[in-house]
A and B are shown apart, each in its own frame.
Chain A
Amino acid sequence: MYFRKSVGLKLSCAAFVVAACGVVRADDAKDAAAFRAQLAPLLRTYCYDCHGPGSEVELEKYRTAAEIKKDRGVWVRAMAQVRLGTMPPEDGETLAAETRNQLLTLLDGLVNSVDCVSNPNAGKVALRRLNRAEYRNTVRDLTGVDYEASEGFPGDDVGYGFDNIGDVLSMPPLLIEKYLDAAEVITGEAIYTPPPSRVFEVDQDPSKLIGASKYGAGSGRVTLSSHGTVALECDVPFTATYTVTIAASGDQGGDEPVKMRVDSGRLRKVIEVPKETVEDFELRLRLVRGTRRVEISFINDYYVPKKADRNLHLHHVNLRGVEKRALITADAKIPASHQKLIFVTPGGKVSPDQASAEILGRFASRAFRRPASSQEVERLVELAAQVRADSGRFEEGIQVAIQAVLVSPHFLFKVETPKAVDAQGKMPLVTQYELATRISYFLWSSMPDDELLLLAHRGQLREPARLLDKIARMLRDPRANRFVKNFAGQWLQLRNLDQVRPDARKFDVFNDEIRELMRRETLTFFAGVMRGNLPVTTLLDGQFTYLNEQLAKFYGVAGVQGPAFRRVSLEGTPRGGLLTQASILTVTSDPTRTSPVKRGKWILENLLNTPPPPAPPNVPELEKARLTGTLRERMEQHRANPACAACHNMMDPLGFALENYDAVGLWRDREGGEEIDASGKLPDGTKFRGVGELREMLVTERKDQFTRCLAEKLLIYAIGRGTEYYDKCAVDQIVLEAQQHDYKFAYLIAGIINSDPFQKQGYRE
């Protein structure tokens, strides 16, 4: 069920802005009051003793909420220390967990507050290189060549959970080499040029000639001292005119010079060898493909004992031929991409430079995702002309110029020209072409199609109805599968499935095929929610999934036949939603058992956006020797340790709710003879039993938190940078819009695209 094209999406309605404005003013007053009444006393008790006047990091000098906001950097670091528990130090006042949380909440309210009305910073993404996936897709969309070898490019590092972050994508020399290689192979495949002629060459030591062993075959030469024949025999791979070069010399005697005869097929030629020093003798002969023989004979032996001795010495025999190029290329050899790229050829009134300019102008404009400047095109035309001047063909000139485009920074990076903030402090918009590029890499992991470029060219990309219509069609386009694969694959950590190796003895149902099918199930499910424009919470509680026969068998679901995936209802079963899919249950397990901690952590990180801090070093082991009982009991004893409790009280209960699923995601009622207890209770008192109630909680009480989490992950992926405190306004707005449209998927996507960080260019703070 696709959403209709004509659905209109109202952008940042005026009412909202006014309301927000009021809220912000009130916030200022509230902040000031909160600082005086609550924060200042805490700081006095726990911080000022050391961070007073004259200290290295003086906190006491900040007298108002406004002053703190002005100097965020210092306070962000202070918060980090408090959060980690490194401040206050052990010898200072002890800070109860509750007070610590209160302090953090108050600080967060101030330090991370942002004024959403007066032009919040739209942020600046660092120059983004195409990552591997984007490179491959872009090359395919641009040239029609699928360059699979890009899979072997050095890995793109991950930041903020995604591999398309400008700051993190580096450009080492190794990669430039690969881009060069790629450009050569890609242009070679996209544009047909006849291959260089084959050369066949045999270089023969004469002592290895047929029949040579009968004669005095010394070091590197053969001496024919009486009438006789030696021969060169070889498999000639193609018919051509060959050159035989024989290096020979003769012992002269008598009244005529040494004569040798060369026979091959019908050819017979007698050559005089008049000198005693080595000379090259060349003769040309036509050889037809197949086994061929060239015979060399000594034909005028002369011998008078002690007076005269005529002999022939052979020093070297070489046979060499060059295959003749076909003058006309068979149409079948010309790839479709060739016709598309080389849409004009020189001839008639069109000069080679004119033809090059048209071809390269169009190509560079698509590759650079904006019109190429006339200067850029001129330089490319010149490069192509250089190749022709160097006796290259027209097409070869185009190939080299296109290679330059494919290695150019304008192609490899998503370049955005810098823009200034105006006098009123308004954030500048990115250009229409830059916006088209942002949209297409977000939804397609590739370059804009012609339609997007046309919209940009006409300046229509910010017209809400047109844009929404385009977004809707883009999501339905098969290219959006790349978004599913890249975004969902990373957000849900499905890519890490490659690394899990469930213990084969315990989980013999698991294999590489199942691994792939599991992943496919989740990606298809995500795509189903996206293309159906369902509420995003369907990801958590959708009563359906996608299976094929093999995967259905793995799950124990009956009635699914054949290798094709299809939608399967899960009504009336405990399964439903991401949390019950084998991919996610497997990726969050240890090789030998489930890990409620990992599962809980996965939920906190990826569904609720509240990643727990790392475990401190020297954590006591869940060892049977010291702790006893079931896994749950052992973990409960473990949690008795207050150092662990704070985080594990959150993680463990969430994870335990999924205990009915084993380490590869299969249902179980018992483990090690004990009945599974899938109940949990969060520190705030929320209780649930099993995945059903956990799911219920997530889609009701935590619905907005989940939506916000997803919005933030999408935003990071969409703009290629981590979110900062000032992005809060944008996320608020995106979530609000989603709420107003029943949390439907496409509205969340549209909200991201319409947000300031996506539409505008800010700066680094």
Chain B
Amino acid sequence: MKMPNTLSRRTVLRGLGTTVALPVLAAMSETRLLSAAGRENEMPLRMGFFYVPNGMHMPDWTPTKDGTRFELPPTLARLAEHRKSLNVLSGLALDGAKAHGDGGGDHARSVASFLTGAHPRKTNGADIQNGVSVDQATAEQVGDATRFASLELGLEASAQAGNCDSGYSCAYASNMSWRGATNPVAKEIDPAAVFDRLFGGQTEKSTRRARSVREKYRKSVLDFVLEDAKDLHRKLPAVDQRKLDEYLYSVRDVEKRLAGADRLRLSEDGVPDYPRPSGVPRELGQHAELMLDMVALAMQTDSTRILSFMFTNAGSNRSYPEIEVSQGHHSLSHHGKSKEKQANIAKINRFQIDRFSYLLKRLDSILEDNGKTLLDNSMLVYGSGISDGDRHNHDDLPIILAGKAGGRIRTGRHIRYKNGTPLCNLYLWMMKQMGVKERRFGDSTGLLHNLG
């Protein structure tokens, strides 16, 4: 029997009602939205990095007891319901964030180094140099499996003026993902824009034109400019070539995504049951939760397995009137042992970790094909590149590793490492779980032990 060929259309439009007028082809070409369930039986691992600036109020953070029977100090207590799904790691350090003769600028350095383990070159602009970050290094090797090799998200736009941190360009303070030593990867802060990137076919903008037509010409346009760029590349001096290299990489990356448009893993409904956000909420907590919803959606639909997320930029001095902290975060972090300031810092710490807890809860509510939750199949690092904001020290960092990496991590523990153990040892271990074959990362001295 010949049935009207409307199956895919119906799939895509479920939930919108059946009587809806669409431009020709708009729905039919949504092949990317059809399920392309995993080739392997094993569920993929996900890795995510969540950064908060200015250090923590450490007395409210570090448990005094080690092992499984540790107590939860006030900040960590906010994660109580997840304690069985995470480990608290003490004693890890970022050597690259230390001054090493470069003087001030601990904030910019601490975030530049947070995922790279590198010691960024001190410059306000000329010849920026850092290291490759763990998310990008991993994406480089295994990112091909998903539509987006990685996603870079955050809540605070790049600084708009002035000096970000004594002689360091704001590029260091506003980005933590680095694709190459000279290429920071900008983050997206608008949840609606993230939603459109992930599920582009469902928005009004892209239905203005038939998507298949659009994608066909996109490819032509990209081919065209790629040739322009290659030609131009030959003619330019090295300093300009570096810039054009970024352009070439980005164009190819977008092209790859057009080619692999059908790799998005979605449920039978085709579209996640989530309304498109309408922009950036003014209130930070809401903004964070919307954005973390995007994180969960991206992970759930297997749009990417690698994410980085900056709550705010390094040295952020925003105040938190929503929790009645009227002074700036950075100013407060230079607490000079003032009890009041420390109390306020702890308040901000709790406000932020509550959002992380929100994410964990969401991820833990999503059941995957292997019977485990999305959280179980993840490895999420949460922390700061500074320990105490007043001392500006980069050792004994506040770090949480949430998720069980599909069962490879024994969770529910406070693990105290020898102080000064490179944070990069943790990253190297995580990279290995993701299938990256590297013997070293940043300043790693080996795989972090005692996780499994």
Q: In angstroms, how far is the closest chain A Cβ from the Cβ of B173?
A: 8
Asked if B41 lies at the interface with its beta carbon under 8 angstroms from chain A, I say no
A721-B125 contact given A127-B236, A172-B250, A400-B220, CB 8 Å threshold: yes
Asked if B391 lies at the interface with its beta carbon under 8 angstroms from chain A, I say yes
**Chain B: which residue is nearest A375 at the CB level?**
B231
Asked if B273 lies at the interface with its beta carbon under 8 angstroms from chain A, I say no
A to B contact number (C-beta, < 8 Å): 300
The interface stretch among A105-113, A181-189, A650-658, A738-746 is: A181-189
A404-B224 contact given A199-B22, A409-B229, CB 8 Å threshold: yes
A494-B228 contact given A127-B236, A203-B10, CB 8 Å threshold: no
With the chains together, A123 CA to B336 CA distance in Å? 44
Question: B103 near A177 (CB under 8 angstroms)?
Answer: no
**Chain A: which residue is nearest B187 at the CB level?**
A154
Asked if B188 lies at the interface with its beta carbon under 8 angstroms from chain A, I say yes
Question: A409 near B228 (CB under 8 angstroms)?
Answer: yes
| Other-chain contact of A499, B19, B24, B185, B318 (Cβ < 8 Å) | B318
Question: Which of A197, A198, A199, A204 has the most chain B CB within a 10 Å cutoff?
Answer: A199
Residues of chain B in range 179-230 having any CB-CB distance to chain A below 8 Å: 179, 183-190, 193, 197, 205, 208-210, 214, 216-218, 220-222, 224-225, 227-229
Give a binary string over B233-251; 1 marks a CB under 8 Å from any A CB, 0 the rest.
0011101101110110111
With the chains together, A277 CA to B190 CA distance in Å? 54
With the chains together, A176 CA to B256 CA distance in Å? 13
Give a binary string over B152-196; 1 marks a CB under 8 Å from any A CB, 0 the rest.
100001111111111001110011000100011111111001000
Asked if B319 lies at the interface with its beta carbon under 8 angstroms from chain A, I say yes
**Chain A: which residue is nearest B392 at the CB level?**
A617
Chain B residues with Cβ below 8 Å from A253 are none
Chain B residues with Cβ below 8 Å from A188 are 208-209
**Chain A: which residue is nearest B321 at the CB level?**
A501
Question: B240 near A158 (CB under 8 angstroms)?
Answer: no
Question: B169 near A168 (CB under 8 angstroms)?
Answer: yes
| Other-chain contact of A202, B19, B24, B174, B217 (Cβ < 8 Å) | B19
Chain B residues with Cβ below 8 Å from A413 are 243-244, 247
Question: B326 near A501 (CB under 8 angstroms)?
Answer: yes
Question: A496 near B160 (CB under 8 angstroms)?
Answer: yes
Chain A residues with Cβ below 8 Å from B25 are 196
Residues of chain B in range 320-341 having any CB-CB distance to chain A below 8 Å: 321, 326-328, 331, 334-338, 341
Asked if A591 lies at the interface with its beta carbon under 8 angstroms from chain B, I say yes
With the chains together, A764 CA to B317 CA distance in Å? 35
Question: B321 near A496 (CB under 8 angstroms)?
Answer: no
Give a binary string over A74-111; 1 marks a CB under 8 Å from any B CB, 0 the rest.
00000011001010000000000000000000000000
The interface stretch among B1-9, B353-361, B362-370 is: B1-9
Question: A197 near B125 (CB under 8 angstroms)?
Answer: no
Question: B232 near A155 (CB under 8 angstroms)?
Answer: no
| Other-chain contact of B221, A316, A403, A605 (Cβ < 8 Å) | A403
**Chain A: which residue is nearest B150 at the CB level?**
A173
With the chains together, A280 CA to B4 CA distance in Å? 8
Residues of chain A in range 154-178 having any CB-CB distance to chain B below 8 Å: 154-163, 165-168, 170-177
Chain B residues with Cβ below 8 Å from A622 are 336
With the chains together, A180 CA to B106 CA distance in Å? 37
Residues of chain A in range 393-423 having any CB-CB distance to chain B below 8 Å: 400, 403-404, 407-410, 412-413, 415, 417-418
Asked if A126 lies at the interface with its beta carbon under 8 angstroms from chain B, I say yes
7 example contacts (A-B, Cβ-Cβ < 8 A) are as follows A126-B126, A174-B186, A203-B18, A489-B161, A501-B318, A501-B321, A611-B163
Instruction: List the 7 shortest-distance A-B pairs measured between CB atoms, nearest first.
Output: A621-B336, A159-B125, A614-B104, A155-B158, A154-B186, A278-B1, A614-B166
A residues lining the B interface (CB < 8 Å): 80-81, 84, 86, 124, 126-127, 129, 152, 154-163, 165-168, 170-177, 180-181, 183-185, 188, 195-204, 234-235, 237, 245, 247, 277-280, 315-316, 318, 320, 322, 379, 383, 386-387, 390, 400, 403-404, 407-410, 412-413, 415, 417-418, 489-491, 493-496, 498-499, 501, 503-504, 590-592, 605, 611, 613-623, 721-722, 724, 763-764
B residues lining the A interface (CB < 8 Å): 1-4, 6, 9-10, 18-19, 21-25, 101, 103-106, 123-128, 152, 157-166, 169-171, 174-175, 179, 183-190, 193, 197, 205, 208-210, 214, 216-218, 220-222, 224-225, 227-229, 232, 235-237, 239-240, 242-244, 246-247, 249-251, 253-254, 317-319, 321, 326-328, 331, 334-338, 341, 390-392
